[in-house]
Structure 1
């Protein structure tokens, strides 16, 4: 092992269940994370999203959340295999959260999240991922037009090196 990688390997704490490790990295790079889902052919699909940690609107428990565009490949994958892994990274520090995905959106309605609550949930996720907006009405209109969906990952396993 070379000296550059030694600190990473020495601090790895696999099997953690503390979502705080994930949440602490969000501010470090604008909430940029890699999300991986399972395609129908059992291969992995990965893409970059802005994610944050919010309380689930129905359970109140902390979840890793991001907003996905309606019609996206990741949403199609999650509808077939509702599990994902989300990895946040800042420099050499990283944390991963994996678990079941709960979709909440115009094409994935959920009792308890009505048409008034959904835009607020999308805003909450956006700001938890480090986003800001000067015109929430415009933001809400774009989210509705693009059929944006909240993706809520319940962390069954969180592991990190920092």
Structure 2
């Protein structure tokens, strides 16, 4: 069975762009492209797939109702799929035991885990608050890689 180390190796060779899929109320699948990476869950310490999204995104609405998700990364002919349950932590998605400072740091951590860098972290923090961003943390239950 593949591990998040395999996923990280694929990300390192091919980048952080991925497709995330969530389930609509009618059972059909909605997919969208995200920039994601491997990060540490702030409450549990476990390794997860992390990305951020706006509070108004369709994927976030679906994940709030049905937290199952699949994220697929690709590099050349190689790919890795991570299935699991999503924890949502954000301005409109509070998480027990995590406060405003924890959220600020988590959004930075998810961004850097997804390959991001910033010259002005204060401006980044303001933008995250204005956009009411949430971190989506996928706790892996199955990982498949080729």
What is the TM-score of this pair, normalised by structure 2?
0.96
Between 150-159 and 26-35, report the one with greater CA deviation: 26-35
Unaligned runs of 5+ in 2: none
What's the counterpart of residue 38 of structure 1?
A: 23
Deviation at 1:120, TM superposition (A): 0.7
Question: Which runs of structure 2 are paired with 1:96-107 in the superposition (5 Å)?
Answer: 96-107=81-92
Distance 1:54 1:41 in 2: 31
Given that 1:27 and 1:130 are in contact with CA atoms closer than 8 Å, whether structure 2 keeps it comes out as no
Q: Deviations over 1:19-48 (max 9, x none)?
A: 111111223343101000001111100000
**After the TM superposition, which parts of structure 1 deviate over 3 Å for at least 4 consecutive aligned residues?**
none
Q: Does 1:77 align with 2:62?
A: yes
- Number of residue pairs matched by the alignment: 146
What's the counterpart of residue 124 of structure 2?
A: 139
Given that 1:30 and 1:131 are in contact with CA atoms closer than 8 Å, whether structure 2 keeps it comes out as no
Given that 2:2 and 2:145 are in contact with CA atoms closer than 8 Å, whether structure 1 keeps it comes out as no
The structure number with the bigger radius of gyration is 1
Distance 1:17 1:84 in 2: 17
Question: Which runs of structure 2 are paired with 1:5-24 in the superposition (5 Å)?
Answer: 16-24=1-9
Q: Does 1:148 align with 2:145?
A: no
What is the TM-score of this pair, normalised by structure 1?
0.87
What's the counterpart of residue 12 of structure 1?
A: none
Q: Does 1:57 align with 2:51?
A: no
Higher strand share: 2
